[in-house]
Copies of this chain bind each other. A is one copy, B any other.
Amino acid sequence: MERKLLLTVSVILNLVFTFHILYKNSTTWNPTWTSRAAIEAEDAASVSCSGHGRAYVDGIGVLGGKQPPCECNNCYTGKDCSILLSDCPVNANSGDPLFLEPFWMRQAESSAALVSGWHRMSYIYQDGTFVSEALETVIRKLHSVVGNAVTDNRFVIFGSGSTQLLAAAVHALSLTNSSSLPSRLLASVPYYAMYKEQAEFFDSVHLKFEGDAFAWKNSERNDNTTQVIEVVTSPNNPDGKLKRAVLEGPNVKTIHDYAYYWPYFSPITVPADEDLSLFSLSKTTGHAGSRFGWGLVKDKTVYEKMKRYITLSSMGVSRTTQLHVLQLLNVVVRDGGDNIFHFGHETLKKRWETLNKVISMSTRFSLQKIKPEYCNYFKKVRDFSPSYAWVKCERPEDANCYEIFRTAKITGRDGKVFGSEESFVRLSLIRSQDDFDHLIDMLKKLVFQEGVEAHSI
């Protein structure tokens, strides 16, 4: 009897095992040629860098068979980035958008892209262009869900970052100038330095950088016939203000740089509906390293000239990059941007509040102020959460604000770089959390020192 029971149990167990194996084999996907790449990616991702760094599959030494090394955040060191360097200067200079990195780490599965060795080797897509149709579709969808730009009756053009598109746009518009004199490039102060730097370095016979748009408007040389190109950055870099064009008239062409017109940084007050608008992936998803941007262009002639510029300068954007960007933007649009924009906005709002609290204890420094506005995306009036602090040194003896901060071990960007005054300095608020925390620590010291000085007088 006992033996019978044992046999029955054993046979049942065998059947269970058999089903388990059959069922598992039929439903588990067995990766074939993709597994090497996948294992390497997961291995790199699993390297612990103490939360103060990360390891990449293309890290130094990887080809020699080594484990990818930790690449530490600023001021952290050690094999696992666990050591905080004392007395380390904080980097608040560039607009490296790492505040969004934690979002993408959480979206690991949905945002990964596997590139095959034979992925789009041709110069052209099936339709003969340099542009992925799927990516163009998702970009139009993105603007429609965010409500920050009209894409109807617009050509979409891709570039290696909005940097390349800016050069293409300026060049294209300067070529539509029928006069023999070069077009003048203008932007109202304070402006993003790239406008000036590109124009001066590329030295086209058709273009001359002229500086501040307000100064030009009131200048005697403004004869209303000289061809001018005004770049309008809105929200503005460095101060975050929503800007409008200063100049108008039949001799004026305008480029709208909307790199920062996303719900993280600014209320979305109205869909942009301009002749020529530029956007950058760097400030859309935080992928500055992917070098991807796009433009919305109304006029066909201008679009064709920009396309010619992109063709002659790089024959379009890498197809590998376009594949990756498609994957990223698809993650953004599939929930209408809910996840990423809330995460990013909350992060920056908190940072702005923290910063304000520190600076408000000081009479030596002041921050830009902008009124809350209704945001069509969040469907509410929302506070300002800019990407940069535009700090003014208020004391006459603090003439060079950049130097004041540099001495306090905070590297910002000099106001002069933006065509503005030395009494201003730009501090980046969109970098990694480590950089921001460090910035606040150093700022507290600087402001505390002010209190001590006041006390000792």
- A contact residues vs B (CB 8 Å cutoff): 3-4, 6-7, 10-11, 13-14, 17-18, 20-21, 29, 31-42, 44-45, 54, 56-63, 71, 94, 96-98, 100-101, 104-105, 107-124, 126, 132-135, 137-138, 159-161, 163-164, 167, 171, 194, 197-198, 201-206, 282, 286-292, 308-309, 312-324, 326-328, 330-331
Contacts and interface: CB of A to CB of B under 8 A. Distances in A.
A63 B330 contact: yes
Contact of A33 (B21, B45, B328): B45
Contact of A14 (B17, B163, B288, B318): B17
17 contacts: A7-B7, A10-B11, A20-B21, A21-B21, A29-B39, A32-B42, A33-B112, A38-B38, A41-B116, A56-B120, A100-B121, A114-B114, A115-B115, A160-B318, A161-B315, A163-B313, A164-B313
B308 A201 contact: yes
B194 A133 contact: no
A393 B180 CA distance: 43
A394 B126 CA distance: 36
Given A42-B33, A316-B291, A63 B118 contact: no
A417 to B, nearest CB: 14
A163 B137 CA distance: 28
Q: How many copies does the complex hold?
A: 2
Given A10-B7, A10-B10, A38-B34, A318 B289 contact: yes
Contact of A312 (B29, B54, B167, B327): B167
Given A36-B110, A109-B33, A98 B122 contact: yes
Nearest to A109: B33
A321 B120 CA distance: 12
Given A62-B134, A114-B40, A319 B160 contact: no
A312 B37 contact: no
Given A120-B289, A201-B312, A292-B318, 16 more contacts: A33-B108, A33-B109, A36-B109, A54-B118, A57-B114, A57-B323, A58-B322, A60-B134, A63-B330, A94-B123, A96-B123, A105-B118, A159-B314, A161-B314, A290-B318, A291-B318
A73 to B, nearest CB: 10
Nearest to A68: B134
Contacts of A6: 7
8 closest residue pairs by CB, A with B? A111-B117, A17-B17, A160-B314, A289-B319, A33-B108, A34-B38, A10-B10, A41-B114
Nearest to A97: B121
A10 B14 contact: yes
Nearest to A207: B203
Contacts of A202: 171, 202, 204, 312-313
A63 B114 contact: no
B112 A117 contact: yes
